[in-house]
Amino acid sequence: MLYKKRKKFLLIIFFLFLLFLLTSCTNESAENPEKKAQDKEFSGGYLYITFLDVGQADCIFVMLPDGKTAMIDAGNNDDETKIINFLKKMNIKKIDYLFGTHPHEDHIGSMDSVINNFDIGKIYMPYVTTTTKTFKDVLEAVKKKSLKITSAKGGMEITPSQDVKIEVLAPNSKNYEDLNNYSIVLKIIYKNTSFLLTGDAEYISEKEMINNNYDLKADVLKVAHHGSSSGTSIEFLKAVSPKYAVISYGKGNDYGHPHKETIDKLNKMKIKILSTAENGDITFKSNGEILQLIKK
Ligand SMILES: [Zn+2]
């Protein structure tokens, strides 16, 4: 009798154990789709763009949804540590597309260090030279790594991956009086979201882009020339019609950037202004449809 009771008891325990196993299995499969969605979020599908706070200078880093990378400008000479640490912290080994918008120090200052410290895919610069040491340092770094510079001009198109397009919208002339107007202007498009990065382009270049009937519309505009009144005309702003304007500048700079005229125009058009001086590094995230400001 006692033996029978014990057998029954053991059977109940066994069934309870089976039931436990079954429930935990069901739970796991129920969790799987969510887990998969999470993995997807972290493994790709998003484009990230960061406007680094490099003081009175420009440096923009883009992580494409497939893990490829782009850098547009590389701050001043003394921004080397900041830029390299930023990339190393993100475990970046290679810059697939490196752009020097124009050969002024505040745009190509630390480009030699970026070239020396990381694998580089392609380098784009405008077809113009200067005699500064900063520019020579970049050329030397390029030569040392047996790379070559591709001259960028309006009308070029780069397709890094299926859903991402990088359009070169300027420069559109061969000769300009001011080096700023040689600035490479880029439009980075990820499905229905886009970013217009204007270097230090001034009115002349803006007019050329408008006259060429380029589609300038973008969600985020990197305001030209640190918010100087030498660029950002009302016509240009109307054509871009951005939700956000990002101004890259250093507090208390010698040029008085950003100029009041530019800020007034942006405010009049109710464009949300962000700046590296006020906000530090600024990062946007896009899934191709929705744009999110994730760090400011
Ligand atoms: Zn500049």
Alpha-carbon torsion (247, 252, 254, 259), positive or negative: positive
Instruction: Give the residue numbers spanning the domain of 185.
Output: 46-295
Numbers of helices and strands, H then E, in the chain: 9, 15
Q: Do 76 and 130 have their domain in common?
A: yes
pLDDT average, residue stretch 95-123 = 98
Q: Do 8 and 55 have their domain in common?
A: no
Q: Do 23 and 59 have their domain in common?
A: no
Q: Are 67 and 44 a contacting pair, CB within 8 Å?
A: yes
Residue 92 is predicted with a pLDDT of 97
Distance linking the first and last C-alpha atoms of the chain: 75
Distance from Cα 161 to the centre of ligand 1, integer Å: 29
Q: Do 2 and 111 have their domain in common?
A: no
How far apart are the C-alpha atoms of 285 and 48, rounded to whole Å?
5
Please name which of 217, 220, 186, 185 lies closest in space to residue 200, comparing C-alpha atoms.
Answer: 185
Q: Do 31 and 138 have their domain in common?
A: no
Distance from Cα 259 to the centre of ligand 1, integer Å: 14
Helix (H) / strand (E) element for 43: namely helix 2-43
Distance from Cα 81 to the centre of ligand 1, integer Å: 19
Distance from Cα 224 to the centre of ligand 1, integer Å: 8
- Select from 27, 43, 59 the last residue of a domain: 43
Q: Do 137 and 218 have their domain in common?
A: yes
Q: Do 116 and 37 have their domain in common?
A: no
At 105, which CATH number? 3.60.15.10
Q: Do 32 and 133 have their domain in common?
A: no
Q: Do 210 and 66 have their domain in common?
A: yes
Q: How many domains does the chain have?
A: 2
Helix (H) / strand (E) element for 195: namely strand 193-197
Measure the CA angle with vertex 166, ends 160 and 171; round to 5°.
135
Say whether pLDDT at 145 is over 80.
Answer: yes
Say whether pLDDT at 7 is over 80.
Answer: no
Distance from Cα 44 to the centre of ligand 1, integer Å: 32
Q: Do 144 and 85 have their domain in common?
A: yes
Distance from Cα 15 to the centre of ligand 1, integer Å: 74
Q: Do 213 and 236 have their domain in common?
A: yes
- What are the pLDDT digits (tens) for 62-105? 999 999 999 999 999 999 999 999 999 999 999 999 999 999 99
Name the 3-class secondary structure at 56.
Answer: coil
Q: Do 8 and 111 have their domain in common?
A: no
Distance from Cα 106 to the centre of ligand 1, integer Å: 5
- What are the pLDDT digits (tens) for 150-194? 999 999 999 999 899 999 999 999 999 999 999 999 999 999 999
Please name which of 98, 53, 8 lies closest in space to residue 274, comparing C-alpha atoms.
Answer: 53
